[in-house]
Structure 1
Amino acid sequence: MFRWYQAKLTQRPVVTQVITTAFLFGAGDITAQQAVDRRGVADHDFPRTLRMTAWGGCFFGPVAVQWYKLLGRISFPGHPNRELLARVAADQILFTPVNLLCFFTGMTLLEGGNPKDKLEKSYLTTLRNNWMLWPTVQLVNFKFVPLEHRLLVVNVVSLGWNSYLSYANTRK
């Protein structure tokens, strides 16, 4: 399976990463609905899963592909630890707050709701929870994973994170 993915990544890197991201955003929502909320198939909110899948494929995936390319260009020759910390800091201080703002605003608009209310209720808590998980993930990711596989690592960890995001986005 990994060889097949690697071949697709070599042939069409952006498309492969975007499709993978869309799939895993949808899978995260399914996990949130079935494992966390225990809705069952009859009560599954398929439009919600479609919104999460679309968000992953149409927004986060394309943006993240370019973001990781940009982070890969941060360079401090002879100072690999400084380079690593700069990438993680940029990811967590610049990208994450904007990404979460876009996520909650976009998802709420797709649901027909009020983004201001959603942001007041969920944004800061989600941002704090992000900072408990992602800096460590990104330290490992940027230190040991080649650029072309970094989004895949993020996507795999995101199965759990996207379940949380889906839950955070729909809590009353």
Structure 2
Amino acid sequence: MGAGDVIAQQLVERRGLREHQGPRTLKMMAIGFCFVGPVVGSWYKILDRLIPGSSKVVAVKKMVLDQGAFAPCFLGCFLAITGATNGLSVEENWSKIQQDYTDALMTNYCIWPPVQIANFYFVPLKHRLAVVQCVAIVWNCYLSWKANRL
């Protein structure tokens, strides 16, 4: 999350080092450490118990459940948490979520289904979160830019 935020601020927003918002990067790191990592890691364990196995059909089923049920809820929670940590009021946060949610979810669907099918088919459970976080550097850059655009 921290690396994604640094990339967002430096390459996407072109802030430069003088204008880099260190507290924002720290907030994104904290969200990654306290929310994203534990929730996604736990989800993969639950998903493996719900749909055991590693065949191609199982990988597709896991991806459908992951992207159909987990991703929409997770993304909404993520946007709400970032809005709250950015000091938005409940009304402002709700408005920002309504503004950003659909676009973020559609972007999610462009990136994650093929990644997750490969992840669920080829990667052992204990390494899935690490694989996802490698791809997520780009995703986290997008999320940081989206969530912190006020």
TM-score, length-normalised on structure 2?
A: 0.93
Counterpart for residue 120 of structure 1:
98
> Is the contact made by 1:34 and 1:40 (CA closer than 8 Å) also made in structure 2?
yes
> Contact 2:51–2:62 at 8 Å: present in 1 too?
no
Query: In the TM superposition, what is the alpha-carbon distance from 1:159 to its structure 2 partner?
Result: 0.4
Matched, 1:100 2:75: yes
C-alpha distance 141-52 of structure 1, shift in aligned 2 (>3 A): same
User: How many residues are matched?
Assistant: 147
The match for 1:147 among 125, 132, 135 is 125
Residues 63 and 117, structure 2, Cα contact 8 Å, conserved in 1: yes
Q: Specify which structure has the bigger relative contact order, considering alpha-carbon pairs within 8 angstroms and separated by 6 or more residues.
A: 2
Q: Any stretches of 5+ residues in structure 2 without a counterpart?
A: none
Q: For each residue in 1:111-138, what CA deviation from the matched residue of structure 2 results, as whole angstroms up to 9, or x when unmatched?
A: 1112111111100000000001100100
Residue 56 of structure 2 is aligned with which of 77, 81, 85? Answer: 81
1:42–1:97: structure 2 CA closer, same or farther, 3 Å change rule? same
Look up the match of 2:37. Answer: 61
Aligned partners of 2:119, 2:11: CA distance in 1, in Å?
27
User: How far apart, CA to CA, are the structure 1 residues paired with 2:20 and 2:30?
Assistant: 17
- Is 1:168 the equivalent of 2:146? yes
Alignment check: 8 A CA contact 1:51 1:110 kept? yes
5+ residue gaps, structure 1, are: 1-24
TM-score of the pair, normalised by structure 1: 0.81
Partner of 1:16: none
SS at the partner of 2:17?
coil
Q: Deviations over 1:116-170 (max 9, x none)?
A: 1111110000000000110010011111111111000110000000000011112
Is residue 110 of structure 2 the alignment partner of residue 132 of structure 1? yes
Deviation string 1:56-112 (CA, Å, 9 cap, x unpaired) is 0001111111111111223466x9233111110111011111111111111101111
Cα distance change, pair 148–99 in 1 and its aligned pair in 2 (3 A): same
